Amino acid sequence: MATYAAIAATSEAIIGLLRRARPKDEFTKAAFEVYQGDNFESPMDEGISIYLYRVAVNGSRRGLPPTTGPDGRRYRPPLPLDLYYLLSAWGKAYDTQHRLLGWAIRELENIPIIPSSVLNSTGPEPDVFRPEETVELICDPLSLPDMINLWEALKPKSSRPLSINYVARMVAIESQVELHEYAPVQTRTFDYGKGPKA
């Protein structure tokens, strides 16, 4: 299971995948950035941004079992998270936006399962994810009212860019709290013979 840096590592891995795969001869000026809310006030001229707008506990996998470390010690169950991203294509001309978004969607669809080697290579620190771990990245379109509400909260000063939503599923953050095992209780003694003092 991943450490608490898994959210940052996942964001960096997604934008890193696009940055490395960029067709340099076509998108010569394109930037690739992880955005915060403030970035929408003065966005890039051309490129792709991803914005993490929601983090939720994965309800279907909430009851994961405790984990066992390499040394055999047991720890509290991991917390499975789903990370919701807004991917936006920026450009001064409409055709630049269209081409960037089409390319980015196709590129992310080529790698729907992100392996730990990618997740660990671009993150804030090494070895955030264990070697056997992966993160599933799937397109998760919002309804039109939800998308409008999201843009109302962001309030970009320029026009709204072409955007699409993704969810990174099952980012499981491990616990550092050890579970201790004790021998089962064999007998219990109840002293009913003594009455209250007079």
At 194, is the pLDDT very low, low, confident or very high (cuts 50, 70, 90)? low
pLDDT in tens, 2-55: 788 999 999 999 999 999 999 988 888 999 999 998 999 889 999 999 999 999
Task: Specify the 3-state DSSP secondary structure of 99.
Answer: helix
d(CA 154, CA 163): 13
Asked whether the predicted pLDDT for residue 1 surpasses 60, the reply is no
- Answer whether 0.75 is exceeded by the pTM: yes
103-134 tens-digit pLDDT: 999 999 999 999 999 998 876 677 888 888 99
Give the model's confidence band at 178: pLDDT under 50 very low, under 70 low, under 90 confident, else very high.
Answer: confident
C-alpha–C-alpha distance, residues 16 and 121, integer Å: 9
Number of other CB atoms surrounding residue 35 within 10 Å: 21
CB 160 within 8 A of CB 45: no
H or E segment at 100? helix 94-110
Whether residue 69 is predicted with pLDDT greater than 60 in this model: the reply is yes
Residue-level pLDDT at 138: 95
The pLDDT value recorded for residue 130 is 86
DSSP E strands: which ranges in 16-161?
A: 31-35, 47-57, 67-68, 74-75, 79-90, 113-115, 134-139
Q: Residue written as tokens 């939800």?
A: 146
Q: Which residue has the higher pLDDT, 84 or 188?
A: 84
The pLDDT of residue 191 is above 70: no
